[in-house]
Amino acid sequence: MTMPPISYPVLRLRPKADARRIRHGAPWAWSDDLVLDRRSRAIPAGSLAVLEDAERQPLGLGVATVEGKIGLRLLDRDPAAVIDGVWLASRIKAALDLRERLYATPFYRLIHAEGDGLPGLIVDRFGDTLVMQPNAIWLEEREDLVAQGLLAATGCSTLIKNGTARARLAEGLPEVSAVLAGTAPEAAIPVPMNGATYMADVMGGQKTGLFYDQRDNHAFAARLARGARVLDVFAHVGGFALASLAAGAEHAVAIDGSEPALVMAQEGAVALGVADRLTTRKGDAFAEMEALAAEGAQFDLVICDPPAFAPSKTALEPGLRAYERVARLATALVAPGGVLILCSCSHAADLGKFRAACLRGIGRAGGDARVIHTGFAGPDHPQHPALTETGYLKALAFRLMP
């Protein structure tokens, strides 16, 4: 292995740190595991640095942020790698090649951070428009190179930077959004998925404007939807509701706290030609479920896709109680023999803990459940096997026995 150039500073693991974890694929070195002396603390955040084990054997090249919880994010296992436009272009091309094999249309997550070997970078593609979230300081400093690589690889004409993610705060980055290339769309972009049409507000919507991660779970729900009465709670722009209507659902009700999101859902229903079969209810999801129960409403298929109730380990216990409450309230709305789909996008709540919380809620509502499906994010959201954050999404489908 070629030795790294002298220009790269070095960060070294403490003798008691587990170097095998890094060698076996972990992409992060925790600051607590590093030798932090005056020299290493002087390395500016975002600088490239070589990571060595306690015996001074190089483990790879990464981005140093020694004052944060994550002391170094590995970029390349070769400590002599050159992180330039050519390097970025190769990573982007590898990500694009996978998506083009997976999808016949240009609507997908193009870059999924560590899942594609580009820590902190999220890019979603909406036809000729790309929306990127550069959530790490090393990307901010190479913004022009990243932009050039994305536009050259995809041939897209418009690139929008969304700099509003919470992850940027941990990197000391400002909330700045801008159109980096092309012209901002004047209207929402129609996105075809699973036979439905979704409207993506790439300038003013949540995150990049649409959530691609539930695509495969939408498809599973649609298999159960023909002729069904469907309730989509925390619906955003009508993800599960529109997929169900496209598959022949009798009627769907979409609940969300955001009026703009529900307007997007209604526009999607109009584009699909099923506007008369979609009802929207704006309000707090918990209160709306209680109100529906008081009205005696029953549905053949109920889906709840809430925000991340447990975004960190400190929020895990209250988050699990919230998931349990969702399950309890939703169970009361499922007709005998119907199906309840419960989702979590909290990486801190692993599948076992999430399933247990769901079953507690179902049990307390008097339900008798059978698991008929376990789903995750689609393959355009590749999971890094050593990083739970990239495999955050879980979906559990329960049949409630009649």
**Residue 27: beta bridge partners?**
none
- CA-wise closest residue to 76 among 159, 181, 182, 1: 1
Give CA–CA dist 140/44, Å, rounded. 14
Count other C-beta atoms under 10 Å from residue 275's C-beta: 13
Mapped onto helix, strand or coil, the DSSP state of residue 44 is coil
Give CA–CA dist 259/267, Å, rounded. 12
- CA-wise closest residue to 153 among 227, 98, 199: 98
* CA gyration radius, the chain: 23
**304 labelled catalytic:** no
Q: Are strands 229-233 and 299-304 parallel, antiparallel or unpaired?
A: parallel
**Residue 282: beta bridge partners?**
256
- CA-wise closest residue to 339 among 399, 257, 269: 399
Report CA dihedral (322, 328, 330, 332) to the nearest 10 degrees: -160
**Residue 344: beta bridge partners?**
394
Considering Cα of 222, then 226, then 228, then 230, what sign does the dihedral take? positive
H or E segment and range at residue 320: helix 316-331
Residue labelled with tokens 């659902």: 249
Q: Are 325 and 289 in contact (CB under 8 A)?
A: no
Give CA–CA dist 126/146, Å, rounded. 18
- CA-wise closest residue to 268 among 248, 243, 285, 247: 243
Give CA–CA dist 301/225, Å, rounded. 7
Question: Which one of 156, 304, 343, 345 is the catalytic residue?
Answer: 345
> In the numeric block, which tokens belong to residue 335?
């007709």
Residues acting as catalytic residues: 345
